[in-house]
Structure 1
Amino acid sequence: MTAILDRRTTPARPDLAARHLLGQVEARAFVDSKPMRVVVPSAPLRREPRPDAPLDTEALCGEEVDLYESFEGWAWVQLRSDGYVGYLPDDALRPGAAAPTHRVSALRTFVYPGPSMKLPPLAAISLGAGVSVSHEAGDFAVLSEFGRFSTGYVFAGHVAPLATAETDFVAVAERFLNVPYLWGGKTSLGLDCSGLTQLALAAAGIASPRDSDMLEAALGQPVAFDDSLRDLKRGDLVFWKGHVGILTDPDTLLHATAYTMSVYSEPLRTARDRILAKSFGAITSIKRLS
């Protein structure tokens, strides 16, 4: 009876599974989910419920999640944004929190306790995080709530209504140049290759899955290529087994890479040759979104 399902996006364990998977997987119990929202700047989604477990991805402020179990400080959840399943610290979540009206459009911005940049900030939140704005006061957007705080103030120029989309996802990705590499990261403090791609696409209103193999399967149309790597375009996505980069022009690759432990820009052919020799092997595909 058990189907072969991707553990990354399937809320099922031997002891517990989502009720909607009844008949598709084997588990000792099936439960309904409870809607929750992330109320911290970002929260680590880990593969196992312990602080030293691998980081699979991060959930950003304002994200909705489906909660299946909460125990000993951990919440077993599925992110609604991309379907990823894992364990979040349960104090990062709250039921009934205000739904976001805006998203952070700057690489990173501070949340202040009042309408002054001279006040000690409450927190810093990264591009793509969601906040609930009640009104504006001078240069600041006033938040109806922020985590455990009854309000917060963000520079109004650093947030945009949820319906606002960037026109060039590549330009968004370029703003992350030199940001540190972090496996599983998805903020301007650190991110990995697929996190960079997913964040940039999301800012342009393009929903996408989390990992590079998922991105390769889900996005765009294949572009024919040979060893010359000619006839490519800005915005083409270049895939290896376990890696993805974004072309900023026909000859230049932007990617978050462990080679420099940063978001790095380099000639595509240089990256192709090094990666072939030292890490992920040959390019598996090049995909074009339009």
Structure 2
Amino acid sequence: MTKLDPRLHAYRPDLADIALQGRVEAERYVSPRLVEVIEPVLSLRKAPRFDAMQLTQAMLGEEVKLFDEQEGWAFVQLARDGYVGYVNANALSPNRRAATHRVAVPSTYMYPEAGLKTQPAVAITLNAQVAVIAEEGQFSRLDNDRFVFSAHLRPVETVEADFVAVAELFRHVPYYWGGKSVQGLDCSGLVQLAFEASGIAAPRDSDMQERALGEELPANALGELARGDLVFWNGHVGIMTDAETLLHANGHHMMVVAEPLRQAVDRIAARHGEITSIKRVAL
């Protein structure tokens, strides 16, 4: 059998998604249960341990396919981008809501009352989904009896007009492997969350994004780049904010920075190689 990418296909030697029966070998095949993330930000890990590598993150309200649960760990696949891994089972709920709004700012708070001084306040981040049941002054009451400042929410069907402008909101956010929130993110996480806010489906990892996003430009197009172009290296991606400036989360600065593209190209080439492709995405 052809080996399927385990990042995007739920299978292990002992069990697999029933949709993969006949494509992978496993002791048993199971149908997933649909559950929902109830933590503000949930780490999806490579193995069922808290010290295992973080692969990506899921946000509050995100739908998850649950295949197996053992000793407090759930083997899941994120419905939004198909990524597979392990999460804390206590952060999932079978009680799925009909989300009405999404968080449209890098971060905001859920308060116990419709007042900015009330505690405890819980931070939620861009692209989290919530269910609004009433309006109280400047605040929206959620179905969990918490309140969010209404101006920080948008109806789930509305999207941002410019994914680059979304990404620019995260300048100076710390680099964090597998992260995709204002608390920390990596290069492909920045691209994905900006695209999600703009209504564009994007894969999680940079190699997937390089294959799936945009139209490829010629290798000699460095002098003709435009806002929104994506520049790829082996294992890295950045977003052009204009013809000369690259915005990217990177391990050199350990945060999201905007720097001259030529400067980034020279530095990255010395350690990791040359640009592998440039992709143009319509704004």
Equivalent of residue 263 in structure 1, options 234, 250, 256: 256
Which AA in structure 2 matches 1:104? V
- Is residue 39–residue 97 contact of structure 1 (8 Å, CA) maintained in 2? no
SS at match of 1:103: strand
> Which stretch of structure 1 is more off in the superposition, 161-170 or 95-104?
95-104
Equivalent of residue 178 in structure 1, options 166, 172, 186: 172
TM-score (norm 2): 0.98
Which AA in structure 1 matches 2:260? P
Which AA in structure 2 matches 1:196? L
Structure 1: 4+ residue segments shifted above 4 A: none
- 1:122 Cα offset (Å): 3.4
Which AA in structure 1 matches 2:277? S
CA–CA distance in structure 2, aligned partners of residues 110 and 21 of structure 1: 40
SS at match of 2:90: helix
Is 2:173 the counterpart of 1:216?
no
SS at match of 1:249: coil
CA–CA distance in structure 2, aligned partners of residues 121 and 222 of structure 1: 48
5+ residue gaps, structure 1, are 146-150
Equivalent of residue 286 in structure 1, options 261, 273, 278: 278
CA–CA distance in structure 2, aligned partners of residues 225 and 283 of structure 1: 8
Which AA in structure 2 matches 1:89? N
What do residues 183-224 of structure 1 show as CA deviations (whole Å, max 9, x unaligned)? 000110000000000000111100111000000000110011
TM-score (norm 1): 0.96
- Residue 19 of structure 1 corresponds to which residue in structure 2? 18
Alignment map for 1:85-124 (pairs within 5 Å): 85-124=84-123
- Residue 245 of structure 1 corresponds to which residue in structure 2? 238
Alignment map for 1:86-165 (pairs within 5 Å): 86-145=85-144, 151-165=145-159
The number of aligned residues is 282
- Residue 228 of structure 2 corresponds to which residue in structure 1? 235
CA–CA distance in structure 1, aligned partners of residues 235 and 44 of structure 2: 19
What do residues 251-285 of structure 1 show as CA deviations (whole Å, max 9, x unaligned)? 0000000111000110000000000002x210000
Which AA in structure 2 matches 1:216? E
What do residues 120-145 of structure 1 show as CA deviations (whole Å, max 9, x unaligned)? 13310011111111121110011012
Which AA in structure 1 matches 2:64? V
Percent identical across equivalent pairs? 53
Which AA in structure 2 matches 1:50? R
What do residues 113-164 of structure 1 show as CA deviations (whole Å, max 9, x unaligned)? 010001013310011111111121110011012xxxxx11000011100111
Which AA in structure 2 matches 1:159? L
Which AA in structure 1 matches 2:275? I
